[in-house]
Structure 1
Amino acid sequence: MKLNQIRDIIATADSGSLRAAARQLGVTQPAITRSIRELERELGVPLFERHQFGMQPTAMGQVMLKRARAVQEELRRATEEIGQLQGEMNGEVRVAMSAISTFALMPPAVKSFRRAHPKAILKITESFYAPIESQLLNGEIDFFVGPFSDPGRGSRVMSEMLFKNERVVIVRKGHPLAQISTIRDLGDTEWVKQALPDRESEGDFERPFSQLGLPMPRIVMHTTSSTATLLAVANSDLLTSVPKQMLNAPVSSELFDVLPIREELDAAPICLVRRVDLSLTPLAEFMFDMFRRAGLQHSRKTEKDTTS
Structure 2
Amino acid sequence: MKLHQLRTLAAIADAGGIRGAARTLDASPAAITKSLRQLEELVQMPLVTRTSSGVTLTEYGQTLLVHARLVIGQMTRAREAVDAMRGAAHGKLSIAITPWLAMTFLPETIRRFSLRMPDIRLELFEGLLKIANPRLRDGSLDFFIGRPMPGDLGVEFNYRPLFSSSCAVVVRQGHPLANCRSLGDLCGLDWLLTLDPSDDGRHAENMFERNHCSVPRRIHLAHSFAIAIALLQQSDMASVIPWPLAELCAAREGLCAVPVREQLEDAAVGLISRSGHPLSAVSECFIQCLVESVHDAQHSASPDTRNVLKSVDVLI
Both proteins in one fold, TM over 0.5: yes
Indicate how the Cα distance of structure 1 residues 126 and 195 shifts in structure 2: closer, same or farther if over 3 A, else same: closer
Question: Aligned letter for 1:288?
Answer: I
Q: How does 1:46-195 map to 2 (within 5 A)?
A: 46-149=46-149, 151-152=151-152, 155-175=155-175, 177-184=177-184, 186-187=185-186, 190-194=189-193
SS at match of 1:46: coil
Residue in structure 2 matched with residue 40 of structure 1 by the alignment: 40
Q: TM-score, normalised by structure 1?
A: 0.82
Note the C-alpha offset of 1:223.
5.0
Residue in structure 2 matched with residue 213 of structure 1 by the alignment: 212
Q: Distance in 1 between matches of 2:129 and 2:121?
A: 22
Note the C-alpha offset of 1:143.
0.7
Q: How does 1:11-22 map to 2 (within 5 A)?
A: 11-22=11-22
Alpha-carbon contact 1:204-1:267 (below 8 Å) kept: no
Question: Aligned letter for 1:117?
Answer: M
Indicate how the Cα distance of structure 1 residues 285 and 215 shifts in structure 2: closer, same or farther if over 3 A, else same: same
Indicate how the Cα distance of structure 1 residues 47 and 240 shifts in structure 2: closer, same or farther if over 3 A, else same: closer
Aligned length, in residue pairs: 306
Q: How does 1:227-266 map to 2 (within 5 A)?
A: 227-249=226-248, 252-253=251-252, 255-266=254-265
After TM superposition, the structure 1 stretch with the greater mean CA deviation from structure 2, 127-136 or 268-277, is 127-136
Note the C-alpha offset of 1:115.
3.4
Q: Distance in 1 between matches of 2:105 and 2:178?
A: 29
Larger Rg: 1
SS at match of 1:124: strand
Residue in structure 2 matched with residue 30 of structure 1 by the alignment: 30
Question: Aligned letter for 1:79?
Answer: R
Q: TM-score, normalised by structure 2?
A: 0.81
Note the C-alpha offset of 1:219.
4.7
Q: Distance in 1 between matches of 2:39 and 2:220?
A: 50
SS at match of 1:252: coil
Question: Aligned letter for 2:240?
Answer: S
Note the C-alpha offset of 1:122.
0.9
Note the C-alpha offset of 1:195.
5.6
| Aligned-residue CA RMSD (Å) | 3.3
Q: Distance in 2 between matches of 1:149 and 1:232?
A: 25
Indicate how the Cα distance of structure 1 residues 277 and 292 shifts in structure 2: closer, same or farther if over 3 A, else same: farther
Q: Distance in 2 between matches of 1:199 and 1:44?
A: 34
Question: Aligned letter for 1:4?
Answer: H
The gaps in structure 2 that reach 5 residues or longer are 300-305
Indicate how the Cα distance of structure 1 residues 40 and 205 shifts in structure 2: closer, same or farther if over 3 A, else same: closer
Alpha-carbon contact 2:168-2:257 (below 8 Å) kept: yes
Indicate how the Cα distance of structure 1 residues 164 and 206 shifts in structure 2: closer, same or farther if over 3 A, else same: farther
Q: Distance in 1 between matches of 2:167 and 2:261?
A: 12
The gaps in structure 1 that reach 5 residues or longer are none
Indicate how the Cα distance of structure 1 residues 191 and 107 shifts in structure 2: closer, same or farther if over 3 A, else same: farther
Alpha-carbon contact 1:96-1:132 (below 8 Å) kept: yes
Residue in structure 2 matched with residue 305 of structure 1 by the alignment: 310
Note the C-alpha offset of 1:85.
1.0
Note the C-alpha offset of 1:303.
9.5
Residue in structure 2 matched with residue 277 of structure 1 by the alignment: 276
Alpha-carbon contact 1:91-1:283 (below 8 Å) kept: no
Q: Distance in 2 between matches of 1:82 and 1:147?
A: 31
Residue in structure 1 matched with residue 196 of structure 2 by the alignment: 197
Note the C-alpha offset of 1:7.
1.9
Alpha-carbon contact 2:8-2:21 (below 8 Å) kept: yes
Note the C-alpha offset of 1:96.
1.5
Note the C-alpha offset of 1:92.
1.3
SS at match of 1:246: helix
Q: Distance in 1 between matches of 2:229 and 2:243?
A: 13
Alpha-carbon contact 1:18-1:29 (below 8 Å) kept: yes
Note the C-alpha offset of 1:19.
2.1
Residue in structure 1 matched with residue 302 of structure 2 by the alignment: none
SS at match of 1:215: coil
Residue in structure 1 matched with residue 286 of structure 2 by the alignment: 287
Q: Percent identity?
A: 26
